[in-house]
Chains A and B, each alone.
Chain A
């Protein structure tokens, strides 16, 4: 509930006093407060709605102006604030009240003709001394003492060692109170404690001054040391959640907004922790935030989340910065809508002031859709047929053909292999091969995602017989499985919580190890890992035992999924079934979103959440409603990936041009234009082989195999190395690099491999066939254009290219080689656009 003001004539005299201007006219802005171009103020409000503070503590609040143009403005600083009883509570710097004595006081804020009054309840002081857990740790956190680069380094810093993000408060307490033979605290004269002398740099401190003598932090620590260094007060409530005001708001570029952070405790009490919270913006183009929690919107339009972190809990403030000039609604009404993807996208663009780029050409569409769906280029005759087809529904029909194409399975399986494929040096050749074949088989049958993942999550059996069991051979410890499964199937990087509380999310070590507990009873027998051959096989089975312990507390962990209910697991049964049931339930908040987002990314080059496996409050989807709708659709079609791919491919959004328009040049995350992407390693290798008609022979693969069919990244290929296939030495080998590099340019320009394919005399070679044919140069050029670009050359291009033919029959072959070389070295070939 907000307290809105009404214009009160009685306030006019006060306004006169404050502003020095007449009380007439609709608005008399306070000098230096709001920019002159700001729209008229229609009302002011005070947040939070309930103001309650303990005597001896401070409280922050916001005064917000509602503007005639629908925006709000932070006027906490220019507003004039008075308190009815300065003995009970006093105003400090703008936006801060200090509680002094119990009772109720009225806080009045006045801005121009507007006025708002809110009661402030000052509660009696608890009388408890500050505690380490409740008061000291937050100060250490805010001051950066336990940052990874300072005292939370593995060996601490200059003798003082703290745990990163306070994951082990008891150890921190011991190190401060008892460490260095007790020199750090000096209860007889608290200000002389080494802890304070260092933090205020009264003695040399490599980390500089972290707070000042006399500051609130300093007073709290003095009081804590002086009162006997309490660990925790009796009955001290635990932190339950953190919230931030304003929770969501739209801003003009350049607008400044303070944040208020509140900590909510298990006993229902609320504490203002604005001064102790740490802030971060996820999108510094749209919003930056200062250390004391002030947002500045812009310089670019867009969305951001500013996260406030306090003692392992996070709260967020959503920031929306629209384009300066929104476009008329009519611009959007005329846009074609193919399905819900478009409907939601146009609405989203309208809010952001973006207009989608135009429709891509037929050739761009076919090339893009074929690359994204199958990982290959359209064959020249296919492209020619499609371009000539007058059928208005030809794109829809092409999508259907692509989805039924056998190459779908290999291309999709290769994407999943990036996530699951072990290094054969570690897991063994046969094992890795079996897992690879199982994945390909799964996609040949279009196995629904839930079934595919269930087979992995509950896999048992022998690694030389059953592919999914190989994942357990590679990821041998429950912790490794927890890391992989949470990241791949839930889109959550729980791994951070393995060693310390997740810095940007609520995930704790307890969440991590309770998920790991699902894998405790999984056992193996047989030949283990013996790199570099690892030729043995082993069998995985479930039997009771191997409890998982919390690494800090030593407590035995009962299985429980993150954010889910603890299942009842009967001793001797496979607890992973309960994990799979939870994970794959249609209502699961993670799985469908994670899968939909991955699939989306494979068609658009980036996820709605990006990176695709990093869902968190501080990394929200660029378009939440669309992700929700895609996830719902995936549930509706029973996790049929092909069905969701169809929806994506048929949308108008997917078919936008990559050329920016006047409104969307800066849009790199809302998909208002197609984003150019370099061809991936396997796709590039296969495309070169297809275009030249000279296949590459890969060691360890059957004759005629394509790059996308490789079962390991270790297969020798300079082309794939140059174009950023994952490094099989990495753990995990899952990172793909899509950046252009000098190595790629040099490889396409000069490599003997490519030149060998151009100059090949094999009969299947395209150059050989065209050179030997009697086709006129223009027909040769057309075929090369269709093969590389999926389109015909325009008149000028044809003219330039055919000029390379000198008429000398001996030069014909060289001309064809050179034209093809030029096309293969052009951006239009190297990129999917």
Chain B
């Protein structure tokens, strides 16, 4: 039994079930807290926030981005100069100087920390809010707990034929649904949207199918799909649910607005330029187009941020340029379109990097401090939350854990982070275990 099947939060029935199951682990204590939080959150948050999560797999350096340490010794501070941001007194590192110029649009949390120095485990922790129950190695792709995107899909369901959770160009390591079920796995959009031939798969018609033919196919199908359905709910006929998805699928294909959104070539060339004519920049742009038509959660998965060697060269390279340009364009564009209020933007990886540059000129894994960019959905602009110590070793002020991060994201998305779900084995599981809100995001 899944407790939350509905798209609009908790129903009375859920409360009744919680009451009945009180002895099985859904305690009254949580029920009361749940009510209190739901009431508090409902008053302040706009409904139907969508999220774009840009995931830098491998772990970006906090030193070379949002938390430079110009006063630290050379082997720590590296070679990049700092740049002033649009907020007096706050400096970023040179590789993100375009983002520094639009700092008025986002918050940087400099004090998220955890203890898992492996890619597999760190990915899981940040992507789900739950640490792995056993140590997980660096090469691993693991899932022990639903990802935030899958949970949003579970909570909101399919709207207008659109899968609620999409990922480009591939799923993240721990971005799966786990016990929520395969229908909440992300809808993957592979391929490079910068290419002329790029098309979003499955949600748009195949290239050689003209629109008139779609109609005739649809009529043909309706006439030939004659297996008798049992609409009596008691029968639990899966063909009835199947029909519902087909209706939505046809709606999606025949919705001019949705189809236009998928077709990135219809975007103003100037806007495309602004995001950067590379696949990542264009993925950010496509992500904006997707949330515009109502996709709830879009993850852009970007690998290759594990710079154990030559970090200076890497951060002078194209990746950083694309990132800096693309993300700042995304934030500006969302803001200009009035979408930033209802779009949450996240930029992070699984951890930060070691303070001391190693003998290969790189930085290694460092979960004790990382910087996370968060914007939109009521998050203040120009704000730094927390701090690391003078040499960037440890988060030292207003330290937050991945649980707090996840609880804050869920709350922004209108999902109670402390609700209980049941695994397929019937075990009650808390969505986020004891996470507290990052209060600076809720001012």
Whether B144 contacts A144 by the Cβ 8 Å rule is: no
A148 to B21, CA, bound (A): 12
Residue of B139, B173, B238 near A740 (CB, 8 A) is B238
Question: Could you jot down 5 A-B contacts, CB within 8 Å?
Answer: A728-B141, A737-B182, A740-B245, A743-B185, A750-B205
B333 to chain A, nearest CB (A): 27
Residue of A731, A735, A745 near B424 (CB, 8 A) is A735
Q: Which of A62-70, A254-262, A380-388, A816-824 contacts B (4 or more CB under 8 A)?
A: A816-824
Whether A666 contacts B220 by the Cβ 8 Å rule is: no
**Interface: A149 (CB within 8 A):** yes
Residues of B within 8 A of A206 (CB): 29, 32-33
A407 to B249, CA, bound (A): 34
Residue of A288, A426, A533, A740 near B242 (CB, 8 A) is A740
Residues of A within 8 A of B227 (CB): 826-828, 831, 833
Residue of B20, B140, B177, B204 near A426 (CB, 8 A) is B140
Whether A749 contacts B253 by the Cβ 8 Å rule is: yes
With A149-B26, A665-B235, A819-B220 known to touch, is A746 a contact of B427 (CB < 8 Å)?
no
What 1/0 mask marks residues of chain B from 238 to 258 whose CB sits below 8 Å from any chain A CB? Answer: 110111011011101100000
With A426-B140, A797-B224, A826-B225 known to touch, is A678 a contact of B203 (CB < 8 Å)?
no
Residues of A within 8 A of B228 (CB): 659
Q: Which of A425, A744, A826 has the most CB of B within 10 A?
A: A826
**Interface: B129 (CB within 8 A):** no
B281 to chain A, nearest CB (A): 25
A196 to B127, CA, bound (A): 41
Residue of A724, A730, A750 near B176 (CB, 8 A) is A730
Q: Which residue of A lies closest to B244 (CB)?
A: A740
Whether B139 contacts A425 by the Cβ 8 Å rule is: yes
Residues of B within 8 A of A423 (CB): 141
With A742-B161, A746-B202, A751-B206 known to touch, is A825 a contact of B182 (CB < 8 Å)?
no
What 1/0 mask marks residues of chain A from 121 to 165 whose CB sits below 8 Å from any chain B CB? Answer: 000000000000000000000101001111001110100000000
What 1/0 mask marks residues of chain B from 115 to 145 whose CB sits below 8 Å from any chain A CB? Answer: 0000010000000000000000111111110
Whether B224 contacts A822 by the Cβ 8 Å rule is: yes
Residue of A155, A493, A744, A818 near B213 (CB, 8 A) is A818
| Chain B interface (Cβ < 8 Å from any Cβ of A) | 20, 22-30, 32-33, 120, 137-144, 158, 161-163, 173-174, 176-179, 181-183, 185, 187-188, 199, 201-209, 213, 216-217, 220-221, 223-230, 232, 234-239, 241-243, 245-246, 248-250, 252-253, 420, 424-428, 430, 433-434
A417-440: which residues lie under 8 A (CB-CB) from chain B? 423, 425-426
Residue of A278, A729, A737 near B173 (CB, 8 A) is A729
Residues of A within 8 A of B120 (CB): 531
Whether B137 contacts A531 by the Cβ 8 Å rule is: yes
Whether B24 contacts A745 by the Cβ 8 Å rule is: no
Whether A153 contacts B434 by the Cβ 8 Å rule is: yes
Residues of B within 8 A of A183 (CB): none
A57 to chain B, nearest CB (A): 23
Residues of B within 8 A of A761 (CB): none
Residues of A within 8 A of B425 (CB): 493, 495-496, 614
Q: Which of B176, B224, B228, B236 has the most CB of A within 10 A?
A: B224
Residues of B within 8 A of A833 (CB): 227
With A740-B238, A797-B226 known to touch, is A144 a contact of B433 (CB < 8 Å)?
no
A806 to B13, CA, bound (A): 55
What 1/0 mask marks residues of chain A from 798 to 833 whose CB sits below 8 Å from any chain B CB? Answer: 001100100000000010001101110111101101
Residues of B within 8 A of A823 (CB): 224
Residues of B within 8 A of A278 (CB): 23-24
Whether B225 contacts A828 by the Cβ 8 Å rule is: yes
B242 to chain A, nearest CB (A): 4
Task: Supply 5 further A-B pairs (C-beta < 8 A) apart from A737-B183, A752-B201.
Answer: A503-B24, A676-B237, A740-B183, A746-B202, A818-B213
Whether B28 contacts A660 by the Cβ 8 Å rule is: no
Residue of A147, A288, A533, A751 near B22 (CB, 8 A) is A147
A674 to chain B, nearest CB (A): 12
Residues of B within 8 A of A207 (CB): 27-29, 32
Whether A822 contacts B225 by the Cβ 8 Å rule is: yes
Q: Which residue of B lies closest to A800 (CB)?
A: B223
Residues of B within 8 A of A532 (CB): 137-140
Residues of A within 8 A of B25 (CB): 147-149
Q: Which residue of B lies closest to A804 (CB)?
A: B220
Residue of B143, B177, B183, B224 near A826 (CB, 8 A) is B224
A616 to chain B, nearest CB (A): 10
**Interface: A77 (CB within 8 A):** no
Residue of A739, A752, A827 near B207 (CB, 8 A) is A752
**Interface: A721 (CB within 8 A):** yes
Whether A676 contacts B223 by the Cβ 8 Å rule is: no
**Interface: A280 (CB within 8 A):** yes
A606 to chain B, nearest CB (A): 11
B126 to chain A, nearest CB (A): 16
B161 to chain A, nearest CB (A): 6
What 1/0 mask marks residues of chain A from 734 to 765 whose CB sits below 8 Å from any chain B CB? Answer: 01010111111111011110010001000000
Residues of A within 8 A of B241 (CB): 739-740
Q: Which 8 A-B pairs have the closest CB atoms?
A: A532-B139, A737-B182, A755-B206, A207-B29, A741-B183, A826-B225, A531-B139, A148-B25
The contact size tier of chain A is: 35 or more
Whether A827 contacts B239 by the Cβ 8 Å rule is: yes
Residues of A within 8 A of B206 (CB): 750-752, 755
Q: Which of A291, A666, A729 has the most CB of B within 10 A?
A: A729
Residues of A within 8 A of B183 (CB): 724, 737, 739-743
Q: Which residue of B lies closest to A164 (CB)?
A: B25
**Interface: A668 (CB within 8 A):** yes
**Interface: A347 (CB within 8 A):** no
Whether B249 contacts A742 by the Cβ 8 Å rule is: yes
Q: Which residue of B lies closest to A668 (CB)?
A: B236
Whether A150 contacts B243 by the Cβ 8 Å rule is: no
A529-553: which residues lie under 8 A (CB-CB) from chain B? 529-533
Whether A149 contacts B30 by the Cβ 8 Å rule is: yes
A423 to B30, CA, bound (A): 37
What 1/0 mask marks residues of chain A from 152 to 186 whose CB sits below 8 Å from any chain B CB? Answer: 01110100000000000000000000000000000
Whether B182 contacts A666 by the Cβ 8 Å rule is: no
What 1/0 mask marks residues of chain A from 711 to 740 whose CB sits below 8 Å from any chain B CB? Answer: 000000010010010011111000101011
Q: Which residue of B lies closest to A788 (CB)?
A: B224
**Interface: A677 (CB within 8 A):** yes
Q: Which of A278, A660, A743 has the most CB of B within 10 A?
A: A743
Whether B139 contacts A611 by the Cβ 8 Å rule is: no
Q: Which of B20, B183, B202, B235 has the most CB of A within 10 A?
A: B202
Residue of A150, A503, A801 near B27 (CB, 8 A) is A150
Residues of B within 8 A of A718 (CB): 188, 201-202
With A207-B28, A532-B139 known to touch, is A800 a contact of B208 (CB < 8 Å)?
no
Q: Which residue of B lies closest to A801 (CB)?
A: B224
A157 to chain B, nearest CB (A): 6
A238 to B441, CA, bound (A): 54
A668 to B425, CA, bound (A): 20
**Interface: A208 (CB within 8 A):** yes
With A278-B23, A745-B248 known to touch, is A157 a contact of B143 (CB < 8 Å)?
no
Whether A745 contacts B238 by the Cβ 8 Å rule is: no
A803 to chain B, nearest CB (A): 9
A278 to B22, CA, bound (A): 10
Residue of A425, A742, A759, A828 near B245 (CB, 8 A) is A742
Q: Which residue of A lies closest to B22 (CB)?
A: A144
Residue of A675, A739, A801, A826 near B182 (CB, 8 A) is A739
Residue of A496, A750, A826 near B221 (CB, 8 A) is A826
Whether A147 contacts B27 by the Cβ 8 Å rule is: yes
With A153-B434, A745-B246, A827-B227 known to touch, is A208 a contact of B32 (CB < 8 Å)?
yes
A144 to B22, CA, bound (A): 7
With A531-B138, A833-B227 known to touch, is A676 a contact of B239 (CB < 8 Å)?
yes
A741 to B246, CA, bound (A): 9
